């Protein structure tokens, strides 16, 4: 699994992936792997009222990645609340972003893995 943004054939960069570019509607795009890139925390917050199965408290951030001359923003969980706006972070793969046994959905009905952002020393 990778953390993937997309670039349409008209050059628009976006995340998450969509069947059509949100800017121009083009259906053709190429994947841009963000997994091995560093990003910058644009803003972050800590939620204490989380959905069932999500850790409490849950630190979340909007992270901006630079891809060539463009930028794309991704929202996701942080590994720690010990961050500041402007900090550099990297995506870190985790098997479970939330407890699959909590909530009303069948555990097999969706994927539970993904990425959190970890500050770079």
Question: In whole angstroms, how far apart are CA 33 and each of 13, 111, 113, 121?
Answer: 12, 19, 17, 22
Window from 10-14, 40-44, 68-72, 111-115 with minimum mean pLDDT: 111-115
Q: How many helices and strands (H and E) does the chain possess?
A: 0, 8
Question: How many structural domains comprise the chain?
Answer: 1
Q: What is the pLDDT of residues 100-120, one digit of tens each?
A: 777 666 667 667 789 999 999
Give yes or no for a cis peptide into 57 (omega within 30° of 0). yes
| Better pLDDT: 82 or 121 | 82
The parent domain of residue 28 ranges over 4-100+109-119
Q: 109 φ, ψ to 5°?
A: -80, -10
Q: 102 φ, ψ to 5°?
A: -95, 150
Reported pTM? 0.88
């Amino acid at each position: 699994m990778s953390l993937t943004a997309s670039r349409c054939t008209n050059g628009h960069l976006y995340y998450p992936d969509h069947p059509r570019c949100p800017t121009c509607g083009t259906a053709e795009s190429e994947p841009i792997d963000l997994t091995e890139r560093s990003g910058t925390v644009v803003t972050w917050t800590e939620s204490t009222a989380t959905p069932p199965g999500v850790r409490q408290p849950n630190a979340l951030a909007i992270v901006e990645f630079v891809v060539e001359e463009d930028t794309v923003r991704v929202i996701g969980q942080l590994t720690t609340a010990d961050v500041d706006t402007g900090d550099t972070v990297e995506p870190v793969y985790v098997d479970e972003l939330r407890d699959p046994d909590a909530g009303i959905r069948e555990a097999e009905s969706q994927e539970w893995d993904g990425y959190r952002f970890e500050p770079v020393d």
